[in-house]
Amino acid sequence: MNDLIWRKLELKRMRWRLLNGRCQCDPEVLPAALDWLNGEIDRIEKEKQLLAV
- Rounded to whole angstroms, the Cα distance separating 36 from 30 reads 10
Tell me: the pLDDT tens digits for 24-52?
889 999 999 999 999 999 999 999 888 88
Report CA torsion sign: 18, 20, 22, 23.
Answer: positive
Helix locations, 1-53, DSSP H: 2-19, 30-52
pLDDT of residue 17: 96
Question: Could you tell me which residue, 16 or 24, shows the higher pLDDT?
Answer: 16
Mean pLDDT confidence for 4-33: 94
Q: Are 47 and 4 in contact (CB under 8 A)?
A: yes
pLDDT of residue 35: 98
Residue 21 pLDDT exceeds 80:
yes
Nearest C-alpha neighbor of 43 from the set 2, 19, 11: 11
pLDDT of residue 53: 77
